[in-house]
Structure 1
Amino acid sequence: MSQLTHINSVGEAHMVDVAAKAETIREARAEAFITMNAKTLNMIINGSHHKGDVFATARIAGIQAAKKTWDLIPLCHPLLLIKVEVLLEAQTSNNSIRIESYCRLSGKTGVEMEALTAASIAALTIYDMCKAVQNDMVISTVRLLEKTGGKSGDFKVTP
C-alpha cells in the first residue's frame, strides 16, 4: 500500500509540497447520476420547469465548482484549469440524468478532485432546482472514470 501523502511523519494532515514535481498535462473525467421520477425528468427535458433551464444551470454550476475545488476541499491546491466541460444526458429508460465532467490543466498536481467536484455539484444543482417538485431524487455512483498525467500514471475504469 502507498504512503498517504496528506499525512506528515507525526500523523497530522498537511498540504503536500509539489514544488519539485514536473509540470505535465493532466486530465480527469468523472461521472455522477441523479435518478428521479419520469414526471420530473420530462419537465427538465421539455424545458417546462418553473425555475428555468435545469441543464444549463447545472452545467455552469459544475464548471464553477471545478474552479473552486481548492476552496471546498481543505488540502487541495489551487489549480489553473485550462478546460472544464460538463455534459448532461437524460436517460429516459431509467429516469436518470448522467453527468460527466472533464478537467484539464498543465500543472504539478492532478485534477481528479476537480472533475469529481464538478460532477457532484452539477448533480446537487439538479436536485436543488427540482426539490420543490420531488424530494426523493437519488444522487449515486459519483466516481472517477479516468485520469492521465503525473507520476502515478494513468487510470481508467474497466468496463
Structure 2
Amino acid sequence: MPSFSHIDSANLPTMVDVGDKSVTKRMAVAESRVRFPAEVANALRAQGFNTAKGPVFQTAIIAGVMAAKRTHELIPFCHPLGIENCKVHIEMDGDDALIRCTVSLHHKTGVEMEALTGASVAALTIYDMCKALSHSIEIRSTKLVEKSGGRSGPFNAADAEER
C-alpha cells in the first residue's frame, strides 16, 4: 500500500524533505473545465469573450499564472519554487471553456500543485467575470493531465485511462 509523503513517523503532518533529491527538469500540465449554459456561451462568443469586467480569457490567463507562482502560499506543504515557465491556454470546447496550465522548472520537487492551482484559479476567474450572466456556470473536472521528471517518473492521464 502506498504511504503518504506528508505524514512523519509519529503520524504528524510534515513538509517533505527534498534536500537529498536530485535536481531534474520537472513539468506538469493540469486542466479545468468551465461549463456555460448554452445561452451564456453564445452571448460570450457574440461579445468576443468580453464582459463589463473586461476580457475574460486574458484576465483568467493572468490570474492562473499569478496563482501558480504563489501556490506555496495557499497549500501548506508546498515548497516555494522559482517557476521557470508557466503558460495558461484557454479555448472553447462546445459550451465549455477548456483551461490548460503548463508549469516547468529544474528543481528537486515537482510542479503538479502549481499547474492544478493555475488551472483552478483561471477557472474561478472565468466564473467571477461571467457570474452576472448566470449563476448556473459550473467549474468541472480539474485534474492532472501530464507530468514528467522526478522519482515517480512520467504520468499521462490518457495512458492511465486506457488501463
| Candidates 44, 49, 52, aligned match of 2:51 | 49
- Report the Cα offset of residue 2 of structure 1: 2.0
SS at match of 1:118: helix
The answer as to whether partners of 1:43 and 1:49 remain within 8 angstroms in 2 is no
TM-score of the two chains, using structure 1 as the length reference: 0.94
SS at match of 1:26: strand
Q: Give the superposed CA RMSD.
A: 1.1
| Candidates 89, 92, 101, aligned match of 2:91 | 89
In 1, Cα distance between equivalents of 2:78 and 2:52: 36
In 1, Cα distance between equivalents of 2:151 and 2:30: 20
SS at match of 2:4: coil
- Report the Cα offset of residue 39 of structure 1: 2.9
In 2, Cα distance between equivalents of 1:86 and 1:103: 9
| Candidates 56, 69, 76, aligned match of 2:78 | 76
Cα pair distance change 1:43/1:50, threshold 3 Å:
farther
Moved over 4 A (4+): none
In 1, Cα distance between equivalents of 2:146 and 2:137: 26
| Candidates 69, 83, 88, aligned match of 1:67 | 69
Partner letter of residue 53 of structure 1?
P
**Structure 1: gaps spanning 5 or more residues:** none
Superposition pairs of residues 5-16 of structure 1, within 5 angstroms: 5-16=5-16
- Count of aligned pairs between the two proteins: 157
Partner letter of residue 7 of structure 1?
I
Partner letter of residue 155 of structure 2?
F
The answer as to whether partners of 1:44 and 1:54 remain within 8 angstroms in 2 is no
**Structure 2: gaps spanning 5 or more residues:** none
- Report the Cα offset of residue 132 of structure 1: 1.3
- Report the Cα offset of residue 42 of structure 1: 3.0
Superposition pairs of residues 19-34 of structure 1, within 5 angstroms: 19-34=19-34
Residue equivalent to 1:58: 60
